[in-house]
Structure 1
C-alpha cells in the first residue's frame, strides 16, 4: 500500500484549534505554549501557506498572546494567511461590534484595542460564515440528537431551533444563542447537557468545514484532547502533530530558527524528507503486527534509528543530512518505509539524468550542485537526488554498453521501477562522425537513435536491420531552445549510431556511414535508452559531446566533452523548470 504524496498531500493547513467555540465544545483548555508549538511544527507539514480565520486571530489574542504574536511574525514573512469576509480593519471591527453587541463580556477584544494593523496576507472570502451556519441549521433535521435525548426534548429542539434562527438575523450563531431556549424549555438535565454538547459540535464542525472548503485545506491531527475533530482531516498522519513533534524534536533544533528554515530556498527538499518519514510512521502504525518489539511503533522506530545520529548544526544543510540519514536507517529496518518512494512527491514530474563514466558523473554533479542542492542516496540503488519546486531530478550512472549487469538496459529498467520518470536525458561523451564539419567538444543531440548491432550478414554484404527510433518531440523542442542560446561549442542534431562495440577503427566508422549516411556520431548506450524508454512510454533524448572520431582514441578530450554535455543539459533542465 504505497502512499502517494500528491497535491492533496500538500494542502494548506487550517488552524481549527484557534477556534474558541470549537475548543469549548469538548471542554479543552489550550495552553499558549502548546498552541505556539503546534503552529511552529505545522510549517513543516505543507509547502502551501497555512491559514486561520481572522476573527480567531483576534479572539485568541488574550488567551494565546505568544501564539498570536508568532502568527503576526509569520504574516510579516508571508508564511501565513488570514481569511475573512471583510475588506478592511475598520469594517471587520464594526461588524464584530454589531454581531456581539449583546455579548461584550465574552468578546471584549472587539470593544477594546486588540490588533492595530490589518495584516499583509488577509484573504477576503465571499459570503458570511454566520449566514452559512444559519442555512445549515435551517436545513438540519437534528437526527444526531434523536437517540441521545427524550422524544419530548427532541420535538422541542426540532420545532424551536429553526424559529429561533429565523427570528434573530443579527446575532452570531454560537451556543449562547440557544441559552434561553435550553433553560426555559428543557427541564431534564441529561437532555439539556446532550443538546448543548451536540449543538456546540455541530456549530464547530460546520464552521470548520466552511474554512476547509474555502482554502481547500485540511487540519492538524493528533492535538492532545482535540482528536474528536480529526475526522475532518484528509489523512490522519499526514498532518499529525504527534508525529511531527517527535520527528522535529529529535534534532533539538530551536523553534526560534523555524522561520529562517521555512524561508530557505532548500526548504522544499527538507519538507519532502520529513513527509516521507511521517508517512512511513503512519503506515507502520497502521500495520502494528509488522512492528518489531524493540521499538513498538513507528514513533519508536524513528527514535530508535536516531539514537546514534549526530545532532545537526543550526543550518538547513545539516538538517537535510540528519533527516535523510534517519530516513535511510528506517528503510533498512522496515521495508514499509520504502513504499513512500522518492518519486511519489506532490504529483510533480520526474526527470532522470543518466551518465556512464566517472568523468561524466563528476561533471553532472558539478553542474547540478552549482544550481541546486544535491543529495547522495544509497537506500537500495545508488543515485543522486535533486528536488525542486516543480520537478524531482535523479542522477544515475550505468556501466558501458547495452547488455550485461549494470549496462544501460538493465540499469534503466531498474530505474524505471524505482523512479517512474516522466523524462530521461542521457548525457556524456560520444564519437563524432564528421570531422570536416564538427569539432572536438561539439554537442550532439539525437533526433533518432539507430541500433547498428541488429543486422543481417551474408557472404557478400551486411544489411542493417536496426530501427531508427525518434526521440521525444518535447525534449527535442526544449533542447532546440537551449541550442539557440548556446555559444560554448557547435551543436549538431541528427541520427546517433549506438551499439555494444567499443569503436576505435576508421574503417568501422566508414562502414557505419555507408550503412546510414545521416549519422552525426555514436555511443554504446543510447540504444539501451531508447529501448527502455519506448517500452515504458517515457520521453527521452540523448545529449552528448564529441571526445573523438571513433579512431585514434585517447582520453585527453573526455573532460571537455563531458563538461559541454552536462553544461548543455543543465541549461535545458533550467528551461524545463520554467514551463
Structure 2
C-alpha cells in the first residue's frame, strides 16, 4: 500500500465484516476506550464509515453514543456516498432486502439524525468491491486449497459477481457457491477466511484512500490488519493506552482536553513519547532486559510523578516530566525530534542578553503557551498547529564558548530549524536619520573583523552576505503595518568588538557606507545558517550609537525588537 503523509485515523475496527473475518468479538467498553484514546493520536478529525455507525448501534451502544457526542463537538467525521438520511436508509434497505435478519437496524428506527460532519464520497463502495473481484486472479488462494477448489473459485466468483448487480458484496454472497460446489471442509474454510479478509482489506483501503488516513494498530486480536497502517507506533492503541492510563485522567474529560487550545502541545509531547517507545521496542535485548520493553521504561519513569489535576496545564507538566526523565535514561528519546513527529516547519528565535530573553518570553507568552526545557540544551518551546518554535539564548560574540557560532551549531543538530530569526539590541549608525528604539532589519550582514592591515590603511575583506529572501519579505509585510518606531533596512556590521568609540564607528562607515547599525553576533548567525542552508534574518533595535554607551535604552530596544519579531511570526503562521 502506498504510504500516506497524513494523521487522519480511520476507525476500521467498527467494520463488523472485518471483525468477523478474524472471528473477533469486540466488546463495547474496549471499542469506547479505543475511540477515546484515538483523540490523542492526531490533530485531524478521525473518521468512520457512516454505515458502520449504524451497524454498530446495537452491538456497541456506548461507543456509538460517544461518537455522536464527538460529532456534535466537530471532532469526528462520517463518510458515505449518500446526501441525506432518507437516501442512505433507502439504499441500505434495497441492498439488504434479502438479509434483513443480519441488518435489522436499516428496517427499524436506529439513528434519527443525519449528523453534523457527514462527508459525501463519490462512487459506491459496493461497485468498487465488484471491480476488485473482477480484476482479481485469486493467487492468495492458490497455495491454500486444492487445485479443483481453486479452479471453481477462479471460474465461478466472477460469474456470480456479474450476475448479481444489486446485492451487497459480503461473504454471504458466496454462501450458496461454497455449500454447493466446495465439498472439502478444509478448502471451504480457507476460502471463506480468505474471501472475508480480501473484502475487508479492499473495503478498508477504499476508506483509507478517501480520507488520506491510517488505522489504529495493536488492537487486541486485530493485529492481522496492522500492515495497513502508515506507522505502527504513531497510532498504537497499546502504547497510547499505557501512556494515557498512567495519568489516571478520566475518560469523561477527554473531549474537554481535545477542545482546549493547548491540546496541540500535549499532542506533540505524547507523540514523542509514543515514538520513543516504538523505537525502543525495536532495540536490542539489552533494553528488554532493563525495562522489559519501551512500555516498561515509561512505567518506570512515571513511578514517582505526581498525578495531574483535572486540567490540561497539569497534564502537560506531567507528560513533559515523563518525557524528560525518559530522555535522561534512554538517548533514543532525544532522537525523536519535532520534525520526525509531525513534518512541520521549525523556527528558531535567538537572543543574547537576559533583557532580550525576558522580552522574548513576554511577547510569546502573550500569544502562545511557552514551556521551559532543560534536557541537554536549555531552551523554550512553543508548539503551534503549523510550526514548532524554539527560543534559545547565546552568549555575546562570535567564537567564544557559548557564543553565537557554537550555540547555533549545536542548535542545528538538535532542532534542525528551517528558519532562524535573531533579535535583540544593536547600535545605530545614523543618529541624524534614526532614533533610539528604531528597528533594524538586515538585508545583508557584513563581518567587519575580516580585513587586511598594512602600513597605510585597512582593507575590509569580510563578505556582505544576503539574508533569506522569504524572511525579508515577511519582515517587510510587518514593517508596512508597524507604527511603534522607525524601521530601517540595510547592511548590518557585525564583529567580536564590543564597540564604544565614535572613531571606530566612523571607520566602519568609511569602509562600508551602507551600514545602518551593528552587533556582535549576527556574523555568527549568517555563517552557521549559510553553512546549513537555513533561512535566517536579523531583527534588532537601536539601544545606542556605538559610543557613550549606557544601559538606559536597552529595555526599549529589546521590547521593540521582540514585538516586531512576534508580529512577523504571526504572519508566518498565516501563510
Q: TM-score range by the shorter chain?
A: over 0.9
The C-alpha deviation readout for 1:291-311, integer Å capped at 9, x for no partner, is 053311000001011111111
Deviation at 1:9?
A: 5.9
The C-alpha deviation readout for 1:3-41, integer Å capped at 9, x for no partner, is xx9995642111010001111111111000000000011
1:186-335 pair list within 5 angstroms: 186-291=182-287, 293-335=289-331
User: What is the alpha-carbon distance in structure 2 between the residues aligned to residue 281 and residue 578 of structure 1?
Assistant: 34
Q: Do 2:96 and 2:167's aligned partners in 1 also have CA atoms closer than 8 Å?
A: yes
SS state at 2:537 partner: strand
Q: Do 1:383 and 1:396's aligned partners in 2 also have CA atoms closer than 8 Å?
A: yes
Q: Do 2:6 and 2:213's aligned partners in 1 also have CA atoms closer than 8 Å?
A: no
User: What is the alpha-carbon distance in structure 2 between the residues aligned to residue 6 and residue 309 of structure 1?
Assistant: 41
Q: Do 1:10 and 1:346's aligned partners in 2 also have CA atoms closer than 8 Å?
A: no
User: What is the alpha-carbon distance in structure 1 between the residues aligned to residue 286 and residue 518 of structure 2?
Assistant: 51
For normalisation by structure 2, the TM-score amounts to 0.98
The C-alpha deviation readout for 1:271-325, integer Å capped at 9, x for no partner, is 1111111111111101142405331100000101111111111111211111111
Q: Do 1:138 and 1:165's aligned partners in 2 also have CA atoms closer than 8 Å?
A: yes
Query: Is 1:337 aligned with 2:320?
Result: no
Q: Do 1:133 and 1:203's aligned partners in 2 also have CA atoms closer than 8 Å?
A: yes
Call closer, same or farther: CA 1:126–1:94 in 2, change over 3 Å: same
Q: Do 2:3 and 2:230's aligned partners in 1 also have CA atoms closer than 8 Å?
A: no
SS state at 1:453 partner: coil
Give the corresponding residue for 1:18.
14
Deviation at 1:237?
A: 1.5
User: What is the alpha-carbon distance in structure 2 between the residues aligned to residue 241 and residue 175 of structure 1?
Assistant: 28
SS state at 1:428 partner: strand
User: What is the alpha-carbon distance in structure 2 between the residues aligned to residue 420 and residue 237 of structure 1?
Assistant: 23
Call closer, same or farther: CA 1:38–1:9 in 2, change over 3 Å: farther
Give the corresponding residue for 2:166.
170
The C-alpha deviation readout for 1:514-566, integer Å capped at 9, x for no partner, is 22222111111111111111122211111111111111211111111111110
User: What is the alpha-carbon distance in structure 2 between the residues aligned to residue 322 and residue 7 of structure 1?
Assistant: 33
Deviation at 1:113?
A: 0.3
SS state at 2:445 partner: strand
Give the corresponding residue for 2:546.
550
Q: Do 1:6 and 1:345's aligned partners in 2 also have CA atoms closer than 8 Å?
A: no
User: What is the alpha-carbon distance in structure 1 between the residues aligned to residue 173 and residue 310 of structure 2?
Assistant: 51
SS state at 2:389 partner: strand
SS state at 2:340 partner: coil
Bigger mean CA deviation after superposition, 114-123 or 505-514: 505-514
User: What is the alpha-carbon distance in structure 2 between the residues aligned to residue 461 and residue 97 of structure 1?
Assistant: 95
For normalisation by structure 1, the TM-score amounts to 0.97
Q: Do 1:355 and 1:428's aligned partners in 2 also have CA atoms closer than 8 Å?
A: yes
The C-alpha deviation readout for 1:238-267, integer Å capped at 9, x for no partner, is 111000000111111111111111111221
Call closer, same or farther: CA 1:27–1:129 in 2, change over 3 Å: same
Deviation at 1:152?
A: 2.2
Bigger mean CA deviation after superposition, 396-405 or 318-327: 318-327
Q: Do 1:440 and 1:561's aligned partners in 2 also have CA atoms closer than 8 Å?
A: yes
Q: Do 2:134 and 2:158's aligned partners in 1 also have CA atoms closer than 8 Å?
A: yes
Deviation at 1:467?
A: 1.5
Call closer, same or farther: CA 1:483–1:406 in 2, change over 3 Å: same
The C-alpha deviation readout for 1:180-234, integer Å capped at 9, x for no partner, is 1222222222222222111111111111111111111111111001111111112
Deviation at 1:342?
A: 2.9
SS state at 2:402 partner: coil
The C-alpha deviation readout for 1:374-411, integer Å capped at 9, x for no partner, is 11112211111111111111111000001111001111
Bigger mean CA deviation after superposition, 435-444 or 242-251: 435-444
Call closer, same or farther: CA 1:7–1:131 in 2, change over 3 Å: closer
Q: Do 2:4 and 2:212's aligned partners in 1 also have CA atoms closer than 8 Å?
A: no
SS state at 1:495 partner: strand
Q: Do 1:284 and 1:290's aligned partners in 2 also have CA atoms closer than 8 Å?
A: no
User: What is the alpha-carbon distance in structure 2 between the residues aligned to residue 430 and residue 246 of structure 1?
Assistant: 51
Bigger mean CA deviation after superposition, 414-423 or 359-368: 414-423
Structure 1, unmatched stretches of 5+, are: none
User: What is the alpha-carbon distance in structure 1 between the residues aligned to residue 229 and residue 200 of structure 2?
Assistant: 14
Q: Do 1:9 and 1:346's aligned partners in 2 also have CA atoms closer than 8 Å?
A: no
Bigger mean CA deviation after superposition, 548-557 or 398-407: 548-557
User: What is the alpha-carbon distance in structure 2 between the residues aligned to residue 141 and residue 472 of structure 1?
Assistant: 56
User: What is the alpha-carbon distance in structure 2 between the residues aligned to residue 461 and residue 6 of structure 1?
Assistant: 66
The C-alpha deviation readout for 1:134-191, integer Å capped at 9, x for no partner, is 1111222222222222222222222222221111111111111111122222222222
User: What is the alpha-carbon distance in structure 2 between the residues aligned to residue 368 and residue 58 of structure 1?
Assistant: 46
User: What is the alpha-carbon distance in structure 1 between the residues aligned to residue 547 and residue 5 of structure 2?
Assistant: 54
User: What is the alpha-carbon distance in structure 1 between the residues aligned to residue 187 and residue 515 of structure 2?
Assistant: 87
Deviation at 1:98?
A: 0.5
SS state at 1:294 partner: helix
User: What is the alpha-carbon distance in structure 2 between the residues aligned to residue 500 and residue 6 of structure 1?
Assistant: 53
Bigger mean CA deviation after superposition, 145-154 or 414-423: 145-154
The C-alpha deviation readout for 1:56-81, integer Å capped at 9, x for no partner, is 00000000001001111111111111
User: What is the alpha-carbon distance in structure 1 between the residues aligned to residue 154 and residue 443 of structure 2?
Assistant: 73
Aligned length: 575
Give the corresponding residue for 2:471.
475
Bigger mean CA deviation after superposition, 375-384 or 242-251: 375-384
Give the corresponding residue for 1:392.
388
User: What is the alpha-carbon distance in structure 2 between the residues aligned to residue 24 and residue 337 of structure 1?
Assistant: 38
Q: Do 2:350 and 2:422's aligned partners in 1 also have CA atoms closer than 8 Å?
A: yes
SS state at 2:342 partner: coil
Q: Do 2:370 and 2:382's aligned partners in 1 also have CA atoms closer than 8 Å?
A: yes
Call closer, same or farther: CA 1:518–1:557 in 2, change over 3 Å: same
